Amino acid sequence: MKKMKKGKITMIITAGIACFVLVLVMTMQFKIVNEADITSIENMRKSELSTELANWKTRYDEVNNQYEETVDMIEEYKNNSESNEETNNLMDSELEQINMSLGKTDVEGQGIIITINETDNEEIEDITADDLLVIVNALKLAGAEAISINDQRIINMSDIVYIDAAKVIRVNGERILAPYTIKAIGDSSYLESSLIGNGGAVDEMRKKEQDVTIEKENNVTIYKYNGDIETKYME
Amino acid sequence: MQNKKVVAIVLGVMCFALTAGICIQIRTVQATNSSVSNNYEENNLRAEVLRYKERYDNKVEDLANAEEELEKERESATKNDTALKEKEEDILEGNKIIGLTEVTGPGVIVTLSDSKKDASSSLDPSSLLVHDTDVLSVINELKNAGAEAISINDQRIIPTTGIICGGNIIDINGEKVGAPFEIKAIGLPEQLAALDRPGGYLELLRSYSVEANLEKSNNITIPKYTGTITYEYAKAIED
């Protein structure tokens, strides 16, 4: 009787340990599954990793260039601190770059001109503010350095909305009418192919039989933003 | 003796169930998560990516320090001249607007997340997810309501920022961010909150069962853009 009890206890303990180990392994497994972060490079495959590497290399080079430029600029300021004229020139060169980003200067360069015509055919959908928004976003992704719609410069705070009451599209608060002309400066071949490639913004519009043409140009002129850019709330 | 048999059977069944559970788990992990794979080439690439990322992060820090120094140099170079002082102000203000400095102010925080509903309960499961066009439209609406600075998951929106969706990840400024998306905007909170009006864009998103929330705040901090802005094709036209 005693012997049997001893055997039973040993068995229970062994079983207990086995169960404990099994449960532990299971919890660990669950944790791994939970922690798998889709944006983490741990979970990328070879082709994704190659793209990611190229991406970081480019970004490193860009930031390194910027760093060197900034260091040069500091030197220039130091060397010319006695001369107001030189300091003035330095500031002008800094401002030129900033004003380009702000959209406060006319710019020119290689690029594309997209023309979108409204048609009389009732079966073809009208052009919406969203269509224009998607094209502008696609252009930015393709590296466009300056964009305008019907000569309204797209700046950081530009909106493209449809006003129901007036049945009109507004860009920067100004009404724009068809035909819509979107100008963009950047690598013209790349800009064009990103729009007309399969699933591209213009490709999708052409599938709906909307009338969109793209022309590559060696010299596109994009005018500056006409309004005042002012901020009231941010510091 | 009878008792012992029952115990043995119960234990056997339990162990079997647990082992089966573990097998299923391991299979799932192998199917969804390649971190278990020990591909030599992939690991090399991964290490390389991490190295470049680190070099990039270090350079970004160097750049931030250099920019601070530049600001000081500029300040000391302009302290004796009011015309120059004005230009310095223009540079600082311009950098704020294009996203090269951190800014604070009142505004709103919009949160968009994928629906918690079971995907099989919907006719179109894709409508339960947040898409790049949804984020794009929210940004556009915020600009329309007068937003002065915007970020998505702390990625600052600059004039050339595009947004692209790949699977369930959205790519902003070359950084990958996943849902939920936290969109911060600085501006007049009451005006920005118009997004949440009846018939507004957030209500539209909710009707597709995407989770959308808007919160007003008096103190929002939007980080600066950490990349660089360069012009390769556009040239300023002198007037």
What residue has token string 């991406």?
A55
Rounded Cα distance, B29 and A29, in Å: 8
Closest residue on chain A to B176 (Cα)? A39
Among A41-50, A87-96, A121-130, B120-129, name the one with the lowest average pLDDT: B120-129
Rounded Cα distance, B237 and A221, in Å: 9
- Please, are residues B227 and B173 in contact by the beta-carbon 8 Å criterion? yes
Q: Are residues B76 and B165 in the same domain?
A: no
Token representation of residue B152: 């998505």
Instruction: Report the half-sphere exposure of A204 (CA within 13 A, side-chain side).
Output: 12
Q: Which residue segments constitute the domains of chain A, with CATH numbers given? A: 107-222 (3.30.70.1880)
Rounded Cα distance, B63 and A11, in Å: 66
- CB of A77 within 8 Å of any CB in chain B? yes
| Strand A174-176 with A152-153, pairing | unpaired
Average pLDDT rounded to a whole number, residues A143-172: 90
- Please, are residues A170 and A91 in contact by the beta-carbon 8 Å criterion? no
Boundary of a domain, candidates B75, B97, B119: B97
R_g over Cα of chain B? 26
The pLDDT score that the predictor gives to residue B148 is 93
Rounded Cα distance, A44 and A37, in Å: 10
User: How many CB atoms sit inside 10 A of residue A57's CB?
Assistant: 15
Residue B122 Cα, gap to closest chain A Cα (Å):
24
Average pLDDT rounded to a whole number, residues B6-30: 81
Among A119-133, A186-200, B124-138, B202-216, name the one with the lowest average pLDDT: B124-138
Q: Are residues B139 and B214 in the same domain?
A: yes
- Predicted confidence band of residue B139 (pLDDT cuts 50, 70, 90): very high
Rounded Cα distance, B239 and B235, in Å: 12
Q: What is the reported pTM?
A: 0.76
Inside any domain, residue B71: yes
Q: Are residues B119 and B211 in the same domain?
A: yes
Quick: pLDDT tens for A3-49: 567 777 887 888 788 888 888 887 877 766 665 555 666 667 778 88
Q: Are residues B134 and B56 in the same domain?
A: no
Boundary of a domain, candidates B79, B97, B115: B97
**Set of chain A residues whose Cβ sits within 8 Å of the Cβ of B7:** 8, 11
**Set of chain A residues whose Cβ sits within 8 Å of the Cβ of B20:** none
